[in-house]
């Protein structure tokens, strides 16, 4: 967690376009899912140019389960440049 604190302190990602894609089906229970969602929200705040996309009913490997979502978000990120 020290890296996150350092990044936030120095604003290293403030001007970098960022897309966070979050899965929802971790199988770890609702309490852990809630904590994870909060951490993902927090990650998206590292940039002023961020977008947080939640992919429902997706496990850890969103890129395999919903590849078109990942492709669409990469294209959208490049359009924001």
Average pLDDT over residues 21-35: 88
39 is in which domain, residue-wise? Answer: 13-20+29-48
* pLDDT category of residue 5 using cuts at 50, 70 and 90: low
Question: How many independent structural domains does the chain possess?
Answer: 1
Average pLDDT over residues 64-73: 97
Helix, strand, or coil (residue 18):
strand
Asked whether residue 42 is domain-assigned, the answer is yes
Asked whether residue 59 is domain-assigned, the answer is no
Average pLDDT over residues 65-76: 97
């Amino acid at each position: 967690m020290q890296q996150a604190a350092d990044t936030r302190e120095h604003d290293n990602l403030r001007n970098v376009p960022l897309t966070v894609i979050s899965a929802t089906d971790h199988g770890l229970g609702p309490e852990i899912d809630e904590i994870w969602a909060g951490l993902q929200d927090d990650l998206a705040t590292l940039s002023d140019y961020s977008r947080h996309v939640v992919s429902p009913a997706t496990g850890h490997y969103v890129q395999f389960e919903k590849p078109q979502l990942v492709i669409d978000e990469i294209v959208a990120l490049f359009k924001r440049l």
